Amino acid sequence: MSFLRTVFLLAALVPTGSYADAGLTIAVASNFQATAKEIALEFTRATRIPVRISAGSTGKLYAQISNGAPYDIFLSADSLRPKLLEENGTAVEGSRFTYAEGALVLWSADSSLEKQGCIEALKSGSYGRLAIANPATAPYGVAAKEFLQASGVFEVAESRLVYGENITQTAQFVITGNATLGLIALSQISGELPVTASCSWSVPAGLHTALEQQAVLLAASNNKDAARRFMRFLKSADVASLLDSRGYTVP
């Protein structure tokens, strides 16, 4: 992998012995899991600090952190929960920042939609099931519901909804044919899906709350120096280039 070479060279000049022993455990929203693993791999190559990624829905990770789960950093899919953690002292004050903004895509692998198109099928109601992430635990699910309501199709779609525990499971519903259509993350399409899309339609950002994804350093971390180092790494220009290639908008 050729990206992050500059960061690697700079990081290699900094002593890492005290950091590497403990390593980092990072709670990551499901939509960002694959990208976070890429970033973590390069961070470890540059610093010799091991990183463990624990992925799940933002809501469930927030609940775990609130109940004392031993994470060092939280990479959320929203801005609300990192803010709440900062306000109640569970996160380090002033550490919160937006690392990326996500996007929604209406997507299908159903061959019957090749000629009709995804948005046309949604508007006409000519589909079986529609998969979205659970709005109770996943910010991408909240955005999906808002889009359906703003488009005037929620009442028709509501009885056909299949809820994924997180955005990864939501995509699996559509990939496997358990749902005709799905509202999934653009970052998932930017990766390599195991099936070819029959249709795909980018949801306008103005039709839902912005998917502003924030990072925060957790107060319970026993390796705050290494955690701060990872968060600086996350802000680097080379990481920004990677995020852009994976379908994220970088602030």
- DSSP sequence for 118-145: HHHHHHHT--S-EEEE-TTT-HHHHHHH
pTM of the model: 0.89
Q: Determine the pLDDT at residue 12.
A: 38
CB 93 within 8 A of CB 188: no
- One fold for 5-101+211-245 and 104-202: yes
How far the first Cα of the chain sits from its last, in Å, is 24
CB 183 within 8 A of CB 151: no
Span 187-234, pLDDT tens digits = 998 777 889 999 999 999 999 999 999 999 999 999 999 999 999 999
Q: Determine the pLDDT at residue 21.
A: 52
CATH class of 5-101+211-245: alpha beta
Q: How far is CA 158 from the centre of its chain?
A: 24
Q: Rounded to whole angstroms, how far apart are CA atoms 184 and 153?
A: 17
Counting as low any pLDDT under 50, the low residues of the chain are 1-20
The DSSP code for 203 is: P
Residue spans of the domains in the chain: they are 5-101+211-245, 104-202
CB 139 within 8 A of CB 104: no
Among the four given CATH numbers 3.40.50.720, 1.10.1740.10, 3.40.30.10, 3.40.190.10, the one describing domain 104-202: 3.40.190.10
Q: How far is CA 9 from the centre of its chain?
A: 28
